[in-house]
């Protein structure tokens, strides 16, 4: 039995220093995006930041979109 070939990885560093990797798999119908950040320290509990903002946005919505609209768009983009 022959194992499938691993997809090729393209890497590029943007002018701001962010490294972007592209792994193209033509057999998948949707795009999956993962953001990974390196951190030297854990932020203090009172500065949770982006995860709290995202959680509030998903639950409460924004000034231009309801929580339901955000959920529908996320699902249409492939979110679970």
> Is the full-model pTM beyond 0.85?
no
Residues 45-76: pLDDT tens digits? 766 677 777 778 888 888 998 989 988 888 87
Report the C-alpha gap between 74 and 53 in whole angstroms: 16
> Do 11 and 20 touch, CB atoms closer than 8 A?
yes
35-46 pLDDT, tens per residue? 666 655 666 676
Reading phi first (left if > 0) and then psi (alpha if -120 to 50, else beta), residue 60 is in alpha
Q: Which are the contacts of 49, defined by CB distance < 8 A and separation ≥ 6? A: 43
Tokens of 8: 């090729």
Are residues 76 and 29 in contact, defined by beta-carbon separation less than 8 angstroms? no
């Amino acid at each position: 039995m022959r194992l499938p070939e691993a997809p090729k990885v393209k890497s590029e560093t943007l002018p701001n220093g962010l490294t972007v990797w592209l792994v193209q798999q033509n057999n998948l119908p949707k795009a999956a995006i993962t953001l990974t950040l390196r951190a030297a320290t854990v932020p203090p509990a009172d500065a949770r930041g982006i995860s709290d903002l995202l959680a509030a946005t998903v639950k409460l919505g924004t000034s231009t979109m309801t929580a339901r609209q955000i959920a529908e768009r996320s699902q249409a983009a492939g979110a679970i």
